[in-house]
Amino acid sequence: MKKVKGFWLFLILSIVLYGTVQLLINAGILNQFYSNTLIFIGINIILAVSLHLVIGITGQFSIGHAGFLAVGAYISAIFTMKLQLPFPIAILVGGIIAALAGLIVGIPSLRLKGDYLAIATLGFAEIIRIVFLNIDYVGGAAGMQVSHLTNWTYTFICLFITIVVIMNFTNSRHGRACISVRENEIAADAMGINTVYYKVIAFALGSFFAGIAGGLYAHNFYIIQPTNFGFLKSFDILIYVVLGGLGSLSGAVISAILLTLVSTFLQDYPETRMIIYSLVLVIVMLYRPQGLMGTREITDIFGKWKSVKSVKGGN
């Protein structure tokens, strides 16, 4: 009953947020710069939450998320620009192909652990980048021209679905199995949990939503190039998850919002931006090594605040 109430509250707040922002955009109060910033925040949140499922929930150290972003971006761009298919179908197909890529990479590589897995996923991302770099059909190194089709509505719908699906997956028995893999893979295996199966499922689901983000990312700009999907992009997404707190979906969302805002509003000062960006990360890691939220969610903080209030009221 509590979870049902929480979902309806989340749904109502989401509708209010969407309606308010859309009203401000239609009224011209939010100009193109601010609306693009909101779209970019939404895309980064999708990337952060999808990687949160792999690293924060399942405990698999992957640094190749930019590869799945690239797959979703290029596949969706091919479907809209070359095959002239509708944008929603292109986004969905981009996500599905990215999920298949996740399965292809995940089945052999997720038997690895720690640094070995990180190197394998990083290698995959670089392979994807080099492949697109040498395919003339998608423009090669010069890049591919893409129509600007991403808007606030598409971004919000994809963001809402991503958060709801990953939240429900985490709270399901499959999510609990993934958490057991993260906590102690040997013990989980001894209890009869098919650890490789759950790692692959989480990896494929995270890859799917990274592909969805890729479709939005590609159609938010007028050109995409393989250089947009280098290993530094994977590290950016990794930072969102680590800074927010490993195991906290709320932390990943908050971190993605904060770092995107810092990066956007300091883009006119590239040298200063990187110094401030790095300084923020160093300070947080020194004084808050568990991340902004640790393993807690926003709902946990509200629940604790309510319990403290009720105790004070009882006294």
User: Confidence class of residue 116 from pLDDT cuts 50, 70 and 90?
Assistant: confident
State residue 67's pLDDT score: 92
Q: Which is higher by pLDDT, 299 or 133?
A: 133
pLDDT at 45 over 50: yes
- Lowest average pLDDT, out of 64-78, 239-253, 294-308, goes to 294-308
Distant-in-sequence, close-in-space partners of 128: CB < 8 Å, separation ≥ 6: 67, 70, 71, 101, 229
State residue 315's pLDDT score: 53
Pick the closest to residue 264 from 17, 113, 41, 107 (CA basis): 41
Average of per-residue pLDDT across 222-234: 88
Q: Which two tokens stand for residue 113?
A: 């652990």
pLDDT at 96 over 90: yes
State residue 68's pLDDT score: 94
User: Confidence class of residue 217 from pLDDT cuts 50, 70 and 90?
Assistant: very high
User: Confidence class of residue 309 from pLDDT cuts 50, 70 and 90?
Assistant: very low
- Lowest average pLDDT, out of 34-38, 159-163, 270-274, goes to 270-274
User: Confidence class of residue 305 from pLDDT cuts 50, 70 and 90?
Assistant: very low
* pLDDT tens sequence across 173-183: 988 998 998 88
What secondary structure, in 3-state letters, does 162-201 show?
HHHHHHHHHHCHHHHHHHHHHHCHHHHHHCCCCHHHHHHH
State residue 302's pLDDT score: 58
Average of per-residue pLDDT across 81-102: 94
State residue 206's pLDDT score: 93
